[in-house]
Amino acid sequence: MVTLAEVARHAGVSASTVSYVLSGKRSISLATRQRVEESIRRLGYHPHAGARALASSRSNIIALMVPLRTDMYVPVMMEIAIAVTTTARTHGYDVLLLTGEEGPDAVRRVTGSGLAEAMILMDVELDDERLPLLRATDQPSVLIGLPAETDGLTCVDLDFEATGALCVEHLAALGHRDIAVIGEAPAVYERHTGFAERTLLGLRDRSRRLGLGLLHRPCAGGYDALALTLARIFDERPGTTGFVVQNESAVEPLLALLRQQGRAVPEDVSVVAVCPEQVALHASVRLTSVAVPAQEMGRHAVEQLVAKLGGRGSDEVVLLAPELTVRASSGPVPARP
Amino acid sequence: MVTLAEVARHAGVSASTVSYVLSGKRSISLATRQRVEESIRRLGYHPHAGARALASSRSNIIALMVPLRTDMYVPVMMEIAIAVTTTARTHGYDVLLLTGEEGPDAVRRVTGSGLAEAMILMDVELDDERLPLLRATDQPSVLIGLPAETDGLTCVDLDFEATGALCVEHLAALGHRDIAVIGEAPAVYERHTGFAERTLLGLRDRSRRLGLGLLHRPCAGGYDALALTLARIFDERPGTTGFVVQNESAVEPLLALLRQQGRAVPEDVSVVAVCPEQVALHASVRLTSVAVPAQEMGRHAVEQLVAKLGGRGSDEVVLLAPELTVRASSGPVPARP
DNA sequence: ATGAAAGCGCTAACAC
DNA sequence: GTGTTAGCGCTTTCAT
Q: Please report the pLDDT score of residue B225 as a whole number.
A: 92
Q: Which residue is nearest to nucleotide D8 (CA to C1')?
A: A55
What proportion of chain B, given as a percentage, has pLDDT over 90?
A: 80
Q: Please report the pLDDT score of residue A278 as a whole number.
A: 83
> Which of strand D's nucleotides are less than 7 A from any protein C-beta?
1-13
Q: Please report the pLDDT score of residue B94 as a whole number.
A: 97
- Please report which confidence band the pLDDT of residue A73 belongs to, taking 50, 70 and 90 as the band edges: low
Residue B336 has pLDDT above 70, yes or no: no
Best probe of the B interface among A58, A72, A73, A284, by most B CBs < 10 A, is A284
**Dihedral over alpha carbons B329, B335, B336, B337 (to 10 degrees):** -100
Q: Identify the DSSP state of B29.
A: -
**Dihedral over alpha carbons A290, A291, A292, A294 (to 10 degrees):** -160
What proportion of chain B, given as a percentage, has pLDDT over 70?
A: 98
Q: For B31-40, what is the mean pLDDT?
A: 97
Label the pairing between strands B324-325 and B288-291: antiparallel
Q: Which residue is nearest to nucleotide D6 (CA to C1')?
A: A55
**Residue among B52, B101, B252 minimizing CB distance to A252:** B252
Residue B53: CB less than 7 A from any atom in strand D: no
Residue A5: CB less than 7 A from any atom in strand C: yes
**B27 CA to D9 C1', in Å?**
23
Q: Mind listing the pLDDT tens digit for each residue in A237-278?
A: 999 999 999 998 899 899 989 998 999 999 999 999 999 888
Q: Please report the pLDDT score of residue B73 as a whole number.
A: 65
Best probe of the A interface among B56, B115, B257, by most A CBs < 10 A, is B115
Residue A71 has pLDDT above 90, yes or no: no
**Residue among B45, B71, B99 minimizing CB distance to A86:** B99
Mean pLDDT of chain A: 93
Q: Please report the pLDDT score of residue B193 as a whole number.
A: 81
Instruction: Report the residue count for chain A.
Output: 337
Residue A298 has pLDDT above 90, yes or no: yes
Q: Mind listing the pLDDT tens digit for each residue in A32-41?
A: 999 999 999 9
Q: For A211-218, what is the mean pLDDT?
A: 97
Q: Please report the pLDDT score of residue B19 as a whole number.
A: 98
- Please report which confidence band the pLDDT of residue B194 belongs to, taking 50, 70 and 90 as the band edges: confident
**What is the spatial distance between Cα B238 and Cα B233, in angstroms, rounded to a whole number?**
7
- Please report which confidence band the pLDDT of residue B121 belongs to, taking 50, 70 and 90 as the band edges: very high
Domains of chain B: 4-56 (1.10.260.40), 61-158+294-320 (3.40.50.2300), 160-292 (3.40.50.2300)
Residue A17: CB less than 7 A from any atom in strand D: yes
Residue A32: CB less than 7 A from any atom in strand D: yes
Q: For A129-147, what is the mean pLDDT?
A: 93
Q: Please report the pLDDT score of residue A231 as a whole number.
A: 97
Positions 44-103 in B, CB within 7 angstroms of strand C: 51, 54-55, 57
Residue B9: CB less than 7 A from any atom in strand D: no
Residue B1: CB less than 7 A from any atom in strand D: yes
Q: What is the pTM of this model?
A: 0.92
Q: Please report the pLDDT score of residue B320 as a whole number.
A: 97
Q: Mind listing the pLDDT tens digit for each residue in A77-126?
A: 888 999 999 999 999 999 999 998 888 999 999 989 999 999 999 988 88
Contacts of B23 (CB under 8 A, 6+ apart): none
Residue B191 has pLDDT above 80, yes or no: yes
Q: Please report the pLDDT score of residue A337 as a whole number.
A: 61
- Long-range contacts, stretch A205-209, CB < 8 angstroms, 24+ apart: A205/A161, A205/A164, A205/A165, A206/A164, A206/A165, A206/A168, A206/A169, A206/A172, A207/A168, A207/A172, A207/A179
> CB neighbours (10 Å) of residue B318?
16
Q: Is B281 on the interface with A (CB under 8 A)?
A: yes
Q: Is A328 on the interface with B (CB under 8 A)?
A: no
Q: For B180-198, what is the mean pLDDT?
A: 90
**A310 CA to D1 C1', in Å?**
27
Q: Please report the pLDDT score of residue B201 as a whole number.
A: 96
Q: Please report the pLDDT score of residue A190 as a whole number.
A: 87
CB-count burial class (<10 Å; 0-12, 13-18, 19+) for A223: buried
Q: Mind listing the pLDDT tens digit for each residue in B146-178?
A: 999 999 999 999 999 999 999 999 999 999 999
Q: Mind listing the pLDDT tens digit for each residue in A146-171?
A: 999 999 999 999 999 999 999 999 99
Chain B CA closest to residue A67:
B82
Q: Is B26 on the interface with A (CB under 8 A)?
A: no
Q: Please report the pLDDT score of residue B70 as a whole number.
A: 60
Q: Is B133 on the interface with A (CB under 8 A)?
A: no
Task: Write out the E strands in chain B.
Answer: 61-66, 94-99, 118-121, 141-144, 155-158, 178-182, 213-217, 242-245, 270-275, 288-291, 317-320, 324-325
Asked whether the beta carbons of A158 and A79 are under 8 A apart, the reply is no
Residues of A in contact with B117 (CB under 8 A): none
> Which of strand C's nucleotides are less than 7 A from any protein C-beta?
1-13
Q: For B82-95, what is the mean pLDDT?
A: 96
Positions 54-73 in A, CB within 7 angstroms of strand D: 54-55, 57
- Please report which confidence band the pLDDT of residue B266 belongs to, taking 50, 70 and 90 as the band edges: very high
Q: Please report the pLDDT score of residue B315 as a whole number.
A: 79
Residue B221 has pLDDT above 90, yes or no: no
Best probe of the A interface among B56, B94, B275, by most A CBs < 10 A, is B94
CB-count burial class (<10 Å; 0-12, 13-18, 19+) for A43: middle
Residue A56: CB less than 7 A from any atom in strand C: yes
Give the distance from residue A136's alpha carbon to the nearest chain B alpha carbon, in angstroms: 14
